[in-house]
Amino acid sequence: MPVWDPSTYLEFADDRGRPFADLLARVAAEEPTTVVDLGCGPGQLTATLARRWPRADVLGLDSAPEMVARAQAYGGERLAFAVADLRTWAPARPVDVLLSNAALQWVPDHRALLPRLLAAVAPGGWFAFQVPGNFAEPSHTLLHELADRPAYAPYTRGVEQPAAAGPADYLSDLVGLGCTVDAWETTYLHQLDGPDPVFRWVSGTGARPVLQALPEGLREELAAAYRVRLREAYPAVDGCTVLPFRRVFVVARTPR
């Protein structure tokens, strides 16, 4: 498993946080008492849930101990964080709001997990998640083309790649489970600055498992080639690099 770096992830915190806010804006829960964030990362977004619903007990869960350690700084009377794997997690009793922001794409065949996650939500409660939908873009395809080269493939073969379905697929899944569903997609145009900004972005998320699978020397070699290709695919104009980033959103309300 890769070791996640909260500081690298937080470099683009504002851009990464916008989809969370857009997802949350469609969750119309008024006074929930229990709120869970699956895949809470470094916790700064989970902390906003405690401010939105000040009477709720909010729990942030993540499988990466280093992320949870960073998130602990936000903990308080009604806000807690813990290490847990969303594939096996189950609450002691159903929760009112279950959120997952940019985490389910790391779970192979996560659509098969939706019925179990939905069962963790109380009748009339809310299940909302957001996943990236940009895996066919150069930021990902260039990485995997390089990783498949003979010098790197013995190390990168078998490294799990994130994946997601489209909004219509998730809508069908959850309507079939009796939910009322709002599903949509948005492509953000992130305006990034500084040297190799797309590489810095992906090295904190989607590219990290591949890069960490390589030994020293080969890792730096692949990273150098990857930077060159990313600069060609995402050229800077007047110091600004535009990164188109498609995301898929789903907000479901369980039947009463």
**pLDDT tens-digit series, residues 152-185:** 999 999 898 899 999 999 999 999 999 999 999 9
- Res 2: pLDDT: 66
- Res 10: pLDDT: 80
The conformation of residue 81, written as its DSSP 8-state character, comes to E
* pLDDT band, very low/low/confident/very high, at 11 (cuts 50, 70, 90): confident
Q: What's the pTM?
A: 0.95
Between residues 4 and 49, the one the model is more confident about:
49
d(CA 98, CA 108): 20
* pLDDT band, very low/low/confident/very high, at 193 (cuts 50, 70, 90): very high
Tens digit of pLDDT for each residue in 35-68? 999 999 999 999 999 999 999 999 999 999 999 9
Mean pLDDT of the chain: 95
d(CA 194, CA 227): 13
Residue type, 237: V
The conformation of residue 4, written as its DSSP 8-state character, comes to P
Tell the burial category of 241 from Cβ atoms under 10 Å away from its Cβ (0-12, 13-18, 19+). buried
The mean pLDDT value for 64-75 works out to 94
Angle, alpha carbons 82-87-91 (nearest 5°): 55
- Res 1: pLDDT: 57
- Res 6: pLDDT: 76
d(CA 213, CA 95): 37
Is residue 221 scored above 70 in pLDDT? yes
Are 38 and 52 in contact, with CB atoms under 8 Å apart? no
Selection from 80, 86, 88, 40 nearest residue 59 by Cα: 80
**Could you tell me whether strands 57-62 and 34-38 are parallel, antiparallel, or unpaired per DSSP bridges?**
parallel
Residue type, 233: A
- Res 216: pLDDT: 95
Number of H helices, E strands in the chain: 11, 7
Tell the burial category of 36 from Cβ atoms under 10 Å away from its Cβ (0-12, 13-18, 19+). buried
φ, ψ dihedrals at 189, nearest 5°: -110, 90
The mean pLDDT value for 121-147 works out to 97
Tens digit of pLDDT for each residue in 222-232? 999 999 999 99
- Res 210: pLDDT: 95
Kindly state the percentage of the chain with pLDDT values over 90: 90
d(CA 253, CA 168): 16
Kindly state which CATH superfamily the domain 6-253 is placed in. Answer: Vaccinia Virus protein VP39 (3.40.50.150)
> Contacts for 145-149 with beta carbons within 8 Å, 24 or more apart?
146/222, 146/225, 146/226, 146/229, 147/210, 147/222
Q: What DSSP string describes 192-232?
A: E-SSSHHHHHHHTTTTHHHHHHSPTTHHHHHHHHHHHHHHH
- Res 8: pLDDT: 78
